[in-house]
Amino acid sequence: MENGPTLGVGMVGHAFMGRVHSQAWRNVSAFFDLPVRPVMAALSGLSRERAAAAADSLGWATSESDWRELLKRDDIHIIDICTPGDTHAEIAIAALEAGKHVLCEKPLANSVAEAEAMAEAARDAAPLGIRNMAAFNYRRVPAVAYARSLVAAGRLGEIRHIRAQYLQDWIVDPEHPLVWRLRKDKAGSGALGDIGAHIIDTAQFVSGQSITGVSGLSTTFIPVRPLPDGSGHGEVTVDDAALFLARLDGGAIASFEATRFATGRKNSLRLEINGSLGSLAFDFEAMNELEFHDHTLPGAESGFRRVLVTEADHPYAGAWWPPGHGLGYEHTFTHQIRDFLAAISENRDPAPSFTDGLHVQRVIDAVERSAATESRWTPVAA
């Protein structure tokens, strides 16, 4: 809607997530008919020179070297937070108090206390029409959204068993430097918070159930790594891999595995859900496909079948290419922003909210506490 009302966007951060979010802000209006149009007003970064260069490269009109300047601008209505977790709470709370809608990357914060403060600020802002969203983009994979619709329609019957994995291998090399994602003060946790947060949210979203208790373990395979500037070595202060068992409030049991040491796996977010009437299975490395087993069919027809989730009536897919012309990672962020803008324009709460992000943070915290006490069963606060 080129001539429709506009909402100015200010983004904080311009590294990996900033680049992905920028691509989504640039393209959302070209593919989705929205009642509002986002304007990429300003990008903020720590370095004035790097922020200016990134703004020029990524399509932002202006740049700032202090995110607080974004909150002072009347032409900015949305703050998009794409920074490390240790900064999320301060930026998000200040933005909400300034009357800005907030989209915040996951995990919501580095601690439960920070996430609780963010959720409280979001609740305080809601009566004024100020909206919030936690950025769990894998909900917006068409196959994952379609899986959710199958569960919601009762096609799987009673959900009994969930298996969720997120497998990567990008730090297998002991010489990989000690980047911020390997420091607890910046990232909060390792594989558990970085990629485990995604499978926690995805499993709960698709199943429609919430985790109520966990038993976890974690480990760090390579405890010391080279510093990025080559000046020596430093301690890895987060987990390299985490596993946990869980119970959910609908009666299902589940297993979760998050690792950055699954050699050969690049970005394999996997989910399998077994129910009384059927099962489904998904792997992001084949993101346009969903496996579905209908257990109500005769035995001679039994087995998983592959659904190519690219038809016009599949979630989100109709806005893009003809059937069979698959989508990619970047499209999930465009879908996320499409849903965020639609919720703002319709004056309703987006999903997942900061409250949803808080629950994921509580699960992460429970897993960490369980792992620190020899895998003791640990309840998750409601």
CA pair distance 325, 285, nearest whole angstrom: 16
Cis bond before residue 35 (omega within 30° of 0): no
**Model pLDDT for residues 168-211, shown as the tens digit of each residue:** 999 999 999 999 999 999 999 999 999 999 999 999 999 999 99
Q: For residue 382, what pLDDT is reported?
A: 86
- Percent of the chain predicted with pLDDT > 70: 99
- In sequence order, the β-bridge partners of residue 241 are 219, 259
**Model pLDDT for residues 49-58, shown as the tens digit of each residue:** 999 999 999 9
- Predicted structure pTM score: 0.97
**Model pLDDT for residues 106-154, shown as the tens digit of each residue:** 999 999 999 999 999 999 999 999 999 999 999 999 999 999 999 999 9
Of 253, 282, 247, nearest in space to 268 by CA = 282
Domains 6-137 and 140-351+359-371 share a fold: no
Q: For residues 189 and 219, is the Cβ–Cβ distance under 8 A?
A: no
Q: For residues 261 and 169, is the Cβ–Cβ distance under 8 A?
A: yes
Domain 140-351+359-371, CATH among 3.40.50.2300, 3.30.360.10, 3.30.70.120, 3.90.1150.10? 3.30.360.10
Q: For residue 3, what pLDDT is reported?
A: 55
Residue tagged 């257990």 (tokens): 295
- In sequence order, the β-bridge partners of residue 81 are 12, 104
CA pair distance 61, 304, nearest whole angstrom: 49
**Model pLDDT for residues 277-334, shown as the tens digit of each residue:** 999 999 999 999 999 999 999 999 999 999 999 999 999 999 999 999 999 999 999 9
- SS3 assignment for 39-63: EEEEEECCCHHHHHHHHHHHCCCEE
Domain spanning 6-137: CATH 3.40.1360.10:
no
Quickly list DSSP for 130-151: --EEEE-GGGGSHHHHHHHHHH
**Model pLDDT for residues 256-276, shown as the tens digit of each residue:** 999 999 999 999 999 999 999
Average pLDDT over the chain, rounded to an integer: 97
Query: Residue 4: is its pLDDT beyond 80?
Result: no
Q: Per-domain residue ranges for the chain?
A: 6-137, 140-351+359-371
Query: Residue 214: is its pLDDT beyond 60?
Result: yes
What mean pLDDT is predicted for residues 33-39?
95
- Token pair recorded at residue 280: 């489904």
CA pair distance 188, 200, nearest whole angstrom: 16
What mean pLDDT is predicted for residues 342-354?
97
**Model pLDDT for residues 61-117, shown as the tens digit of each residue:** 999 999 999 999 999 999 999 999 999 999 999 999 999 999 999 999 999 999 999
Q: For residue 1, what pLDDT is reported?
A: 40
Q: How many C-beta atoms surround the C-beta of residue 191 within 10 A?
A: 28
Sheet of strand 78-81, all strands in order from the earlier edge strand to the far edge: 62-64, 37-44, 6-12, 78-81, 101-105, 132-135
